[in-house]
Structure 1
């Protein structure tokens, strides 16, 4: 569970978070990690700009990886503009685009995974792509739904020998929700994966309790989003849930209870530690990113501010249109790793040339 649960529980984001992120000259706590670790997310983020702006689509969930040819492949979600922002849940597909460098324009290549229709666990959407190279093959973790609603969100895994495919599509989800009444009985979603040094395969996932979700009186935060861990001896599973789940739960911090949550975790290992980026949902506020670290991957530090909204980086964008309620906020953080080290941060953000949503890229360093 989290340490320092009550630390800073009553503080507002501004100006504290801006100072913590290195964007003011005000005194601030130490940088996100001691020197022996790495977390150059804050004042070392250099905006590259928006990528994958598509006139007829919302673009989300940008997961990048270097290919054998040195080019950058990004696996991303998209859904028709006509469906509005909520189309990710019912009508999303996962695509692949390629660029010569992380700062070059990305060119759409193909649709990798699309909803398969009635009778399949991923019948109505394919979302949350997370790409990794594991054991000589490419592993594409993702989320699918069978009815276009949150209660059928399930994590799956597609594999291929090449980034260009063909991809072996799973006939069953990789990870199912817990039994009725458990903290994770509603769904499994937002996959984050790391291969442990001991050879095990660790899958982090987001979920919440159905009753809390259905009886919530706060329309902005329904249920208590927490993160669990599942472990396997093989990449393809079976994955067994850790008995101490959930491994991250912010709901006990202070007196705000379920309003302190997070989602969109990305996990990697560096300097012998587990590192995690995520989107805040009330620890500070709903506009920033979070950074956590752990010695063992189970007990995590108190979150620190990792990144701020786009406007805080000197990026000028048009005023927010009425149909985009989360305009300019950075979500779904995913890292492009170079020789195992974070080199670029890819996020999703509403807005862009067509006032839908696109990728937004930062250089780290």
Structure 2
């Protein structure tokens, strides 16, 4: 009994000493998950909505150039081919603004499919743009038809037909891969590579899509991608996320064995490192709502304290709540180490007509 009291007294003394000296405790490290993205989201004005009459605008990322201008790299699909042509006809464009929330003006079509026998034969989509150590990196998804030459009739079928096991759309879906283009200038030219940055491997299967990258505090890089969960029936898709690490933005990228998200559908991850809280956050959409998870090491993930970020709706500055059919492809623009803008792709259907636009939501600074 006396020894037990001595041990308790010693523990109490050490605990008091650590607190007095201001040293971090393991318990305190777990309590750094304090970011409330929902509370930070502000109302949206017309300037924050970016629309195109000829293209479906979709997800986007923001880079600030040395002259103080803001550049929006965003995905587009020709309206004449329908929204589902993201798998066949996607392009990446660039717009410019004096503000990170818009209004935006399109200035350039940046990247298109290369055709021929390239791995990125069809579409350039699900892009993310970054500036790392003075260079610009544009990560993107593309696909190809292998040894099969698709006719215009087959392309039209893919553009307007939903996924089914064994159909042509499924063939292009399974050939999705992630690539990167690099430039010394934000206006290009962009150098592309003969191969994607990696091939799908466990813990994901079949294909890779939805790429996001952040710089690690140790100077390396962390990538999260979305693929299929393995060992599923051929007619069932469960989307899951995995993490890769590299010493530089081009790679080689090494797949990590532990999944980020498993056993329920989620996609469109957006990862960033919070230097103040010393933890990673990963924002994604889960087919009905937007969720956020967190990690202190980038390898072991759990739901954030403020997990559910938003339903499929946003608020406007005139007091309205706008319900939407799809609210996806989120991005977080950081300035001075803090989240300043959340971007997203919005799809609405009114009287049977599909419309989309890129959305830039201002974020309050904590």
TM-score class normalised by the smaller sequence: 0.7 to 0.9
Q: Structure 2 matches for 1:186-335, cutoff 5 A? A: 186-209=206-229, 212=232, 214-216=234-236, 223-242=237-256, 244-249=257-262, 251=263, 260-270=264-274, 271-281=277-287, 286=288, 288-302=289-303, 304-311=307-314, 314-315=319-320, 327-335=324-332
1:175 positional shift: 1.7
Q: For 1:188, what is the secondary structure of its paired residue?
A: strand
Distance 1:211 1:98, change over 3 A: same
CA distance in 2, matches of 1:352, 1:108: 24
CA distance in 2, matches of 1:300, 1:41: 18
Distance 1:71 1:188, change over 3 A: same
CA distance in 1, matches of 2:173, 2:272: 27
1:233 positional shift: 2.2
Q: Report the structure, 1 or 2, having the larger helix content.
A: 2
Q: For 2:200, what is the secondary structure of its paired residue?
A: coil
Distance 1:62 1:110, change over 3 A: same
Q: For 1:129, what is the secondary structure of its paired residue?
A: strand
CA distance in 1, matches of 2:260, 2:230: 19
1:36 positional shift: 4.5
1:183 positional shift: 4.5
The answer to whether the 8 A contact 1:118-1:146 is kept is no
1:91 to 68, 84, 89: 89
CA distance in 2, matches of 1:246, 1:36: 23
CA distance in 1, matches of 2:55, 2:43: 23
Structure 1, unpaired ranges of 5+:
1-32, 217-222, 252-259, 321-326
1:297 positional shift: 0.7
Higher mean C-alpha deviation, range 204-213 or range 33-42: 33-42
CA distance in 2, matches of 1:183, 1:305: 25
Structure 2, unpaired ranges of 5+:
1-28, 146-168
Give the TM-score taking structure 1 as reference length. 0.76
Which protein is bigger by CA-based radius of gyration?
2
Distance 1:103 1:295, change over 3 A: closer
CA distance in 1, matches of 2:142, 2:354: 26
Give the TM-score taking structure 2 as reference length. 0.76
| 2:131 corresponds to | 133
| 1:39 corresponds to | 35
Distance 1:96 1:215, change over 3 A: same
The answer to whether the 8 A contact 2:43-2:315 is kept is no
List 4+ stretches of structure 1 deviating above 6 A.
Answer: none
1:168 positional shift: 0.9
Distance 1:40 1:94, change over 3 A: same
Q: For 1:292, what is the secondary structure of its paired residue?
A: strand
1:38 positional shift: 5.2
Distance 1:68 1:316, change over 3 A: same
The answer to whether the 8 A contact 1:47-1:361 is kept is no
1:312 positional shift: 5.7
Question: Aligned residue pairs: how many?
Answer: 301
| 2:357 corresponds to | 358
CA distance in 1, matches of 2:100, 2:349: 18
Q: CA RMSD in A?
A: 2.4
The answer to whether the 8 A contact 2:58-2:357 is kept is yes
The answer to whether the 8 A contact 1:311-1:328 is kept is no
| 2:178 corresponds to | 155
The answer to whether the 8 A contact 2:124-2:142 is kept is yes
